[in-house]
Amino acid sequence: MTKKDTFFVGLMLFSMFFGAGNLIFPPFLGMGAGTSFWPAIIGFIITGVGLPLLVISAIAIVKDGGNALGNKVHPWFGAAFTIMVYLSIGPFFGIPRNANVAFEMGVRPFLENDTIHQPLLLLGFSAVFFLLVLLLSLNPSKVVNYMGHIITPALLLSIVTVCVVAFFKLDKPLQAPNETYQTASFFKGFIDGYSTMDALAALAFGIVILTTIQQKGVTDQKQLTAYTVKAAFVAGAALALVYAGIGLVGAQMGAYGQFENGTDLLASAAMILLGNGGKMLLGFIFTLACFTTCVGLTIACGQYFSKMHPKFNYHTVVTIVTLASFLIANLGLNQIITISVPFLVMAYPLTIVLVSLAMFQRFSQKVYAGAMLLTGIVSLYDGLKMFGLQFGFLESWMDNLPFADLGLGWVVPAVAGALAGFIWDRVTQTPAALNEGGLEKVS
């Protein structure tokens, strides 16, 4: 496989990652962070870029995707965790959210104040949108040609155009950070990076990239891992540059007023920078970005669920995923986001801990189980609390955990659980096993 092939596979991976959340959250972070922009965006890039790269690398090492990672805890956990990830990034949250954002930015700005017909227009838009997603997803072997060679360069060129014009036209000084970013802006950006869902998506996209590289004739495991990691770094570099660029646009827009969300901010920026043409360009960027992500997620779901059982045909699974996503998308963006954010607060810590442990090959199953158990308890509490549930006396105990005020209350329990699992493993091992190297290697 040539360097050119690797580069375009990386661009394909970038286009799969770069969807609704990737466009919405960096500029909104920039507006809130103001003069604290760079610490905040660095934190965002660590979880929004670094963590997905780590997941892709782990997938390449363990060879069998999310299932193999989850199996290091327990086979039942591996199956349940992987199914949960695919359903959340697929038809339940990820795909419908992207379709809704494509409508909100690609169609709604041109409807003026017509709110009566919006549900019907969303229905028509999503029908056409998902029909195109289905047609492209049914032929995954052609995705590199379409997305890597055509769609992604057009997307990047459009984003660069907006950022370059903003650099010359938005010349007002950055504003002071709002209350959220006045202290610990780095850690706030770190938590904001969860919202992209890319670390979860990477569990699925890793297999898509591995399959794509295999289709180009690469069969040696070391080469397969190396090409996968290289492609991931191409995608990661593009993501980091785009996040910094559109995040800085958001920081500069803070001097022009306050905005409810990232879509409103970017829409206003486009009008200031390029007038009505900017509105059209922004709609094009959002629609293209959301479309490529939906295609990537649909293919990933199709490839995973079709391998679970011989009766699950790839074309059938892709059709079902597309239809389910179409139905949920028509519930509306606010309803989808209201449910998805607390879920991400529960799922991301588990993913971070699981992938971090997987990078060290000699941890035993007990270490994984201990770390994931305590991480799961804290992250479940945090997620349910975001749903509005009250826990009485438990709240004071949980809120006093180290780093809880930063949204990282799960860190110390994760370390404690891993240490407990390590001690348990050492105590229960036979003397012969200890003499042979201590911890057994879990494949």
The enclosing domain of 168 has a CATH number of: 1.20.1740.10
In a domain, 228, yes or no: yes
Same domain, 317 and 408: no
7, 90, 92 from 323: Cα distances, Å: 33, 11, 11
In a domain, 348, yes or no: no
Amino acid at 26: P
User: Among residues 294, 318, 334, which one ends one of the domains?
Assistant: 334
Same domain, 314 and 442: no
Domain count, the chain: 2
Compute the distance between CA of residue 39 and CA of residue 30 in angstroms, rounded to an integer. 10
In a domain, 340, yes or no: no
Same domain, 244 and 365: no
In a domain, 28, yes or no: yes
Compute the distance between CA of residue 86 and CA of residue 301 in angstroms, rounded to an integer. 6
Same domain, 315 and 400: no
Same domain, 259 and 296: yes
Same domain, 285 and 426: no
Domain of residue 259 covers: 3-334
Of 155, 164, 104, residue with least CA distance to 129: 104
User: Among residues 282, 299, 334, which one ends one of the domains?
Assistant: 334
pLDDT of residue 439: 46
In a domain, 352, yes or no: no
Check residue 90 and report its DSSP letter.
Answer: I
Same domain, 173 and 102: yes
pLDDT of residue 431: 61
76, 101, 358 from 234: Cα distances, Å: 34, 26, 23
Same domain, 230 and 137: yes
pLDDT of residue 442: 42
CB 166 within 8 A of CB 19: no
User: Among residues 334, 351, 370, which one ends one of the domains?
Assistant: 334
Q: Which helix (H) or strand (E) holds 226?
A: helix 221-253
Average pLDDT per 10 consecutive residues for the chain, totaling 443 residues: 88 86 89 94 93 86 72 86 85 88 83 72 93 91 74 87 90 88 90 82 82 84 89 94 94 88 85 87 88 90 85 91 93 74 80 81 83 91 82 80 84 93 84 51 42
Compute the distance between CA of residue 368 and CA of residue 379 in angstroms, rounded to an integer. 16
Same domain, 68 and 207: yes
Same domain, 400 and 328: no
pLDDT of residue 320: 95
In a domain, 341, yes or no: no
Same domain, 59 and 123: yes
pLDDT of residue 294: 92
Same domain, 412 and 319: no
Alpha helices in 108-217 (DSSP H): 118-137, 143, 152-169, 185-192, 198-215
Burial of 350 (0-12, 13-18, 19+ CB in 10 A): buried
Angle, helices 333-358/365-386, rounded to nearest 10 degrees:
160
